[in-house]
Amino acid sequence: MSLLVTGSIGIDTVVSPFGRAEGVLGGSAVYFSYSASLFTPVRLVGVVGEDFPQAFRDKLIDRGFDLTGLETRAGSKTFRWQGSYEGAMNEATTLQTDLNVLGEAGPKIPTEFRDSRFVFLANTHPTLQRDLLGQLNGPEVVVCDTMNLWIDTERDSLMKTLSVVDGVVINDAEARSLSGQSNLVLAGRTILEWGPKFLVIKKGEHGSMLIMPDAVAVLPAFPTAEVCDPTGAGDSFAGGMMGYLASCGTLTAATLRSALARGTACASFAIEGFSLDGISRCQDGADVEARLADYRKVVQFD
């Protein structure tokens, strides 16, 4: 089933205890697409500047994304982010953000993409998320991300977006802040009252929680000693999850649980290398299933 993603496409500089990656490919929509494309064809919608390197464009083409929705805006510069990780590496310290083209008008959904059935709206202004959604011909499943900035400053608009999506994927701090509930199960129940059919809470090294109206699923992260660069882990998770869901074509408690596991596996690959190096080692769904075989042993008990 066709899967469309809108989000950032960026140039990152990342420092971690494992080294430094300067001017590398990044962005939420890119991380998402690398994982999602392991399961289903991906339609990538976003805007870059004139400075976006051809080598990065080639990478996106090589990975097989449909780039009809990738706009290269004349006179603009690509989004750039610099961050560092220390200690438990659970959270990035942002050293610099240059919004550049992301501070201008949003992307447009190409005509050819308007029939997309599964849609992921990566984090951006909630009004832009609804604007993008309005350009689509009634997709079946729409899932969005958001961030504390919008929870704090654009709450009314965000609530409108939440009322028109099927699912939400956010991290634990965002879930707490958005709901005003410290307990994550209560946070999830509160957010579901506002419209979504399901909420996924990303907990970094602690895994994820899926809250549905009448059930909760929790999966730990795949335990690894090789955490090189956590950048994009959450977007890789969302990509694996949505890619798997789109490949199933149905949104049920069972497919959501399975999708959560695929997201977990994809995120575990993503953090093993800088930029897209980790997830790039994963070439197809079989690689994901191989990791899931290891993962099943990790969570197994009698």
Contact between 293 and a copy of itself (CB under 8 A)? no
Rounded to the nearest 5 degrees, what angle is found at the Cα of 136, between the Cα atoms of 99 and 241?
70
Stretch of 68-76, 102-110, 145-153, 198-206 lying at the interface with a copy of itself (CB under 8 A): 198-206
Output the smallest distance, CB 40 to a copy of itself, in A: 18
Taking the C-alpha atoms of residue 157 and residue 140, their distance in angstroms, rounded to an integer, is 22
Indicate the residue among 74 and 225 with the shorter CB distance to a copy of itself.
225
Told to check if 227 binds a copy of itself by CB under 8 A, we report yes
Task: Show the binding pattern over residues 266-285: x = contacts a copy of itself (CB under 8 A), - = does not.
Answer: --------------------
Stretch that binds a copy of itself, among 57-65, 94-102, 161-169, 177-185 (CB under 8 A): 177-185
Backbone dihedral angles phi then psi of residue 186, each to the nearest 5 degrees: -65, -40
Q: CA 31 to CA 9: how far, in whole Å?
A: 9
Which one of 63-71, 96-104, 115-123, 181-189 is the stretch in contact with a copy of itself (CB under 8 A)? 181-189
Q: What's the CA gap between 302 and 298, in Å, rounded? A: 12
What is the total count of residues that contact a copy of itself (CB under 8 A)? 37
Residue 183: Cβ within 10 Å count = 11
- Cβ proximity to a copy of itself, 61 vs 88, nearer residue: 88
Write the burial class of residue 30 (CB in 10 Å: 0-12 exposed, 13-18 middle, 19+ buried). buried
Element (H, E) at 187: helix 184-192
Strand partners, 43: 4, 66
Q: Which of residues 1, 220, 272, 277 is near a copy of itself by CB under 8 A?
A: 220
Establish if 291 lies at the interface with a copy of itself (CB under 8 A).
no
Structure tokens belonging to residue 83: 């961050």
Q: For residues 195 and 219, is the Cβ–Cβ distance under 8 A?
A: no
Query: How are beta strands 141-144 and 118-121 bridged, if at all?
Result: parallel
End-to-end CA gap in the chain: 37
Interface with a copy of itself by CB under 8 A: which range of 65-73, 191-199, 205-213, 279-287? Answer: 205-213
Cβ neighbours, 10 Å, residue 16: 20
Q: How far is the CB of 201 from a copy of itself (least distance, A)?
A: 10
Using CB under 8 A as the binding rule, whether residue 298 contacts a copy of itself is answered as yes
In the complex with a copy of itself, the residue whose CB is nearer, 88 or 149, is 88
216 lies in the site for a copy of itself, by CB under 8 A: yes
Q: Is 89 in the site for a copy of itself (CB under 8 A)?
A: yes
Residue 238 touching a copy of itself (CB under 8 A): no
Give least dist CB 134 to a copy of itself, A. 34
Residue 171's φ and ψ, nearest 5 degrees, are: -90, 175
CA distance 101 to 292: 38
Instruction: Report the interface residues with a copy of itself, using CB under 8 A.
Output: 87-89, 176, 182-186, 189, 203, 205-207, 209, 215-221, 223-225, 227, 254, 257-258, 260-261, 297-302
